[in-house]
Amino acid sequence: MKIVVVDGHTLNPGDLSWAGFEALGECVIYPRSEPQQVVERCQQADVVLTNKVVFSDEVMSQLPKLKYLGVLATGYNVVDLAAAHRHCVAVTNIPAYGTHSVAQFVFAQLLQWAQPVAHYADSVRRQQWSQCPDFCYYDHSMVELANKTLGIIGYGSIGRKVAQIASAFEMQVLVHTRTPPADRLPGVKLVDLSTLARESDVISLHCPLTQSNAGMIDSAFLKAMKSTAYLINTGRGPLVDEDALYRALCDKQIAGAALDVLNQEPPPADHPLLALEACTVTPHIAWATVEARSRLMGIAVDNLSAFLMGHKANRLDDLN
């Protein structure tokens, strides 16, 4: 059995091991693959593993040996599931591997907004404290999280973990979710989207990207937010209308945004949001702690092992 990893570098830049897959078959690991290289590289593959390389109907139709397509991520919009079903290709993903890491990253961003440690550390390095006539200074407003309202869009494992941490900070938590949960943390209030936009001091996005919610954070949503509110997106870039966000930040309709994901990744050097002081952009790293990547690798091996034994684990092709 031949296993091809088409874009393995982001999962394993060298600090993890592919041994689990190597024990299951002949492995070829490509750090990256351009679209025009995919068919040739996967031509003889029984199993393909992808993170962000797209597998469309056109691509899969040229891979007659392909039996299994493992997505090395939770989001699976890179695979045409209907086409996979037609081509009898099993598809899996990796749910819940990064719950703690992504939730932790949300609060790294949130705490940086509430009390901007990096800003003050930089100012001290510029000798601003040494030249100050007082024992302290604050040229950037700071706020307590206690009693602030956090709005969470999407209440899967990450959304729940963010709500749990917010509760420990004594924040009020509002949730908007497509599927009402069977249970929720004490104090968590389910609301419609307009209420969440209007009442939240901070909004954090944790819903999957679908055709119906692409661009859901649009100009109307941003206008409904408080002028002091902050937006955090560690979900999927296309959830946010970036042109509308740029205008809202320039016009100070909201206080700021922290984006770990963008519509185009990597972004062009002249992307307008990169130049805004009110917008913190990080390179899609909320998921990338060594613990989360190691967990992802283990689940990916388990998914393939289950398939080879005739069992189903984290299968997506049954969705169509």
Q: Residue 150: which of 170, 135, 133, 123 has the closest Cα?
A: 170
Give the number of other Cβ atoms within 10 Å of residue 57's Cβ.
Answer: 12
Among candidate residues 40, 144, 265, 291, the one labeled active-site is 265
Q: Catalytic site residue 284?
A: yes
C-alpha span between 102 and 287 (Å, rounded): 5
Of the residues 236, 242, 293, 295, only one is catalytic, namely 236
Amino acid at 19: A
Active site residue 291: no
Q: Which of 86, 119, 247, 284 is catalytic?
A: 284
The crossing angle, in degrees rounded to 10, of helices 99-114 and 117-125 is: 60
Candidates 10, 86, 19; CA nearest to 55 is: 86
In the chain, the N- to C-terminal Cα span, in Å, equals 27
Instruction: State phi, psi for 124 to the nearest 5 degrees.
Output: -65, -40
The yes-or-no answer on residue 41 being catalytic is: no
Query: Do β-strands 26-29 and 47-50 pair in parallel, antiparallel, or remain unpaired?
Result: unpaired
List the catalytic residues. Answer: 236, 265, 284
